[in-house]
Amino acid sequence: MAQTVVIGGGAAGLAAAVSAARTGFQVTVLERTDTLGKKLLSTGNGRCNLANRAQSPSFYHCNEEGFPLGALKRFPFQAVLDFFESLGLSFKEREGYVYPRSLKASSVRDALLSELRVLGADVRTGAKVTGIFRDGNRLLVKTAETSFGAEGVILACGGKAFPASGSDGSGYLLAESLGHRVIPPVPALVPLYAEKTPLAKAEGVRAAGRIDLYDGARVRSAAGELQITGFGISGIPAFQVSRYAARALSEGRPVKAVVSFLPEYDVRKLPDRLAERIRRLPGRDFMEILSGWFPEKLSAALLKKAGIPLHIPARDPSPRVLQALSGAIAAFPLNIVGTGDFSKAQVTAGGVDTAQVDPDTMESRIFPGLYFAGEILDVDGDCGGYNLHWAWASGLLAGKQGKQ
């Protein structure tokens, strides 16, 4: 029986191993840490948001735009659910976000491991792979202690995000040693760090809003619940645009964010709306005028930014005051000076250049017999189940090694 070695026992590696074993290969999984699926156990705050019903190519990012579709078309949302159902898992869905019914990430990991045990896969922990070589018609995978011969090798070592879970970037070195290019990895799904502004005074506030991020090339926008921090801004919208900020900063391009705390209103019409609100609510000071819209700390920070004393009566404000306050509310500027680092990142943007990988099989175009799966590739998804979907889809496809 043909041998397959899967390097990396994370989400993508475990899915690839099940797929390879079901396709008929004799499978060995080599995981460098002592725990399989260590990162998987941390996903979704321990509940594992394993997929999302809302699907669009725009949720996945890659230098080669169409590349992720190769795997995603073969393993769309329902196929991923069918796969996990075949392992005995059932689901809980909230607004399209899919979790295991138990709301425990360990259920997902354990379902994969049970299947591997039943399929007779050889699963090893504490086995860090240090080299991959060609050996006649076969490939040779080396760890510090021993080596494994195989017809197929699936590289699923993850990226550099959350290295405490084992993904320390060593997969890139293995890929590079075989001639693969690596697009410089940067952290993604991380908070944004900004030059200090009065917004820092609203630290701890959560508020609805939109971020428009200018990375020197394009505007990237994301809306949702913002989380104001002492160092900048966090929350899902900040996470969604962070990959662009990290990339631009790593290339020396300046990054600016413009935050709207009233995204439902057009900033150009806001001065009139504010004037009308002030007329409708006589006898109030500016803090009271804003109190129906924002938490107190945020109102204070916005007024400070606009240069308006908090407790002066909001009577007959001048156009300049209305303009300044509208600007603070709906176009609060932040100079972005950094992002969270890899230790805080949920995913890596960048990785093995997909131009050297066949999207229909995940096989290397330059080193036949070598396949890739998961985050090690230059593919990252938005927050919301898309990174795990990519891990499953690319792993299931790689495991087939070109077979139907």
Q: Write out the residues near ligand FAD by the rule CB under 6 A.
A: 7-13, 30-33, 38-40, 42-44, 48-49, 128-129, 156-158, 161-162, 165-167, 170-171, 346-347, 374-375, 385-388, 391
Q: At closest approach, how far in Å is the CB of 389 from ligand FAD?
A: 6
Name the residue nearer to ligand FAD (CB basis): 263 or 399.
Answer: 399
What would the two tokens of residue 253 be?
């391009």
Residues in the chain: 404
Q: Which is nearer to ligand FAD, 326 or 387 (CB)?
A: 387
Q: Taking the chain, what is the end-to-end CA distance rounded to the nearest angstrom?
A: 17
Share in percent of the chain as helix, strand, coil (round to 5): 40, 25, 35
Is the Cβ–Cβ distance between 150 and 1 less than 8 Å?
no
Kindly tell me which of 49 and 364 has the beta carbon lying closer to ligand FAD: 49
Nearer to ligand FAD, 334 or 398 (CB): 398
46 vs 252: CA distance, rounded Å: 36
Minimum distance between the CB of residue 79 and ligand FAD, rounded to whole angstroms? 16
CB of 18 to ligand FAD, least distance (A): 13
Question: If you write DSSP's letter for every residue of 328-377 in order, what string do you get?
Answer: HHH-EEEEEEEE--GGG-SEEEEEE-GGGB-TTT-BBSSSTTEEE-GGGB
Give the residues across from 98 on adjacent strands: 51, 93
Rounded CA separation 327/164 (Å): 42
Q: Which amino acid is at 152?
A: G
At its nearest, how many Å lie between ligand FAD and the CB of residue 318?
48
Nearest distance, CB of residue 239 and ligand FAD, angstroms: 11
User: Considering the complex, what minimum distance in angstroms separates the CB of residue 266 from ligand FAD?
Assistant: 34
Rounded to a whole number of angstroms, the minimum distance from the CB of residue 228 to ligand FAD is 21
Question: Nearer Cβ to ligand FAD, position 16 or 321?
Answer: 16
Q: Is the Cβ of residue 4 or residue 170 nearer to ligand FAD in the bound state?
A: 170
Distance CA 5, CA 25 (A): 10
Tokens 């413009």 belong to 258
The residue to which tokens 């391009």 are assigned: 253
| Cα radius of gyration rounded to whole Å, the chain | 25
Q: Judged by CB, which is closer to ligand FAD: 116, or 259?
A: 116
